[in-house]
Structures are given as C-alpha cells and as structure tokens.
Amino acid sequence: MELTGKVAVVTGASMGIGEAIAKIFAENGANVVLLSRDAGRAEAARARVGFSERTLALACDVRHREEIDRVISLTLHHLEHIDIWVNNAGHGLIDSVSRMDMAACRDLFETNLFGAIAAMQAVLPVMKQQNSGTIINISSVAGHVPLAYGGAYSGTKFALNAMGKAAQTEMFT
C-alpha cells in the first residue's frame, strides 16, 4: 500500500506497538495522528516519531465515544480524510479466572474490545462516505490460544478478532 499522503490514526500510540506503527507510517510518508489517553504522553511519542510537519498528537480515551468522535472531527478538519484507523489501544490483566477482580476485567474489556468497537462504529461511516478506508485491529496470539492467568485478556482479543471479521464481512454484503 502506498502511504504517501495517506492519513493514519493510531490509538494507543504513546508507546510500544502503537508508537512503532505510527513511526512506520510516518517514515513511509503518511500523515499520522497519535492518540493516547494522556496528551503529554502522546506528544512525547510524537517527538520520538519525528516528522512533526506530518504528525499530530491528541488525547483520546477510547472508552468514551465522545472522545473518539472529537478526534475524528479534528482529524477531518485538519487533514480532510481518514484512510487508515489502527485500533491498538489496550492493556493486559494477569489474574486467574477464579479470583480476578471483576472491575479490572470490565475495564480491560472497555478498552481492548468496546473501545475498538466504538472506534469502528465512529470511523466506518466516514470511510463509507469516502468510498475507501482500512481498519486495522491489533490483536495477539492470545486471541487464538488462551493462556493460564490470561483468560480475560485472551477473551478481549478473541472477541476483537470476531468483531473485526464480522465487520469486514458486513462491508461486502
């Protein structure tokens, strides 16, 4: 895929895989919007990625749809379109199914799964109107093979894989 001039939005871009994805997009000519719950961390990642003329750092907690909508609106205002949306925001939970804190489990699902679904629901209409766009959901091997003490995390990734496949099928029916 030619990335020059494309607009890529990456959730969870303040470190790790998200930051690396943002850097690869920027190095290949894309305009990149780096999202993180913390604006300062997003801006620090933007500085590490470089390409300040083609990057933008914004605060966005994907657990809140209004924040996703705000980011989409700002991206469209400044960059006019969204070609790629990367659902990367997430975190883990290492605990046994029998003893895990249910509030922590719910929070995990809110970010890893429901945040990604909310983002897909928000950006799909934009992409349909543009008649183009790509959504990339970052999953894990744990989304195919559950591990002991990783059941909740695996559950979010199994579900994300299913939602992504369903959304892809729906786009072509």
**Alpha carbon distance 167, 122 (integer Å):** 13
Any alpha helices (H) in the chain, and if so which ranges? 16-27, 39-49, 65-79, 102-109, 115-130, 151-171
- The question of whether 149 is a catalytic residue gets the answer no
How far is residue 169 CA from its own chain's centroid?
20
Nearest residue to 62 via CA among 109, 97, 4, 27: 109
Residues composing the chain: 173
Q: What are phi and psi of 36, to 5 degrees?
A: -155, 155
Bridge partners of 36? 59
Which structure tokens are listed for 128? 């349909």
Q: Which of 25, 85, 109, 153 is catalytic?
A: 153
List residues with catalytic annotation: 153
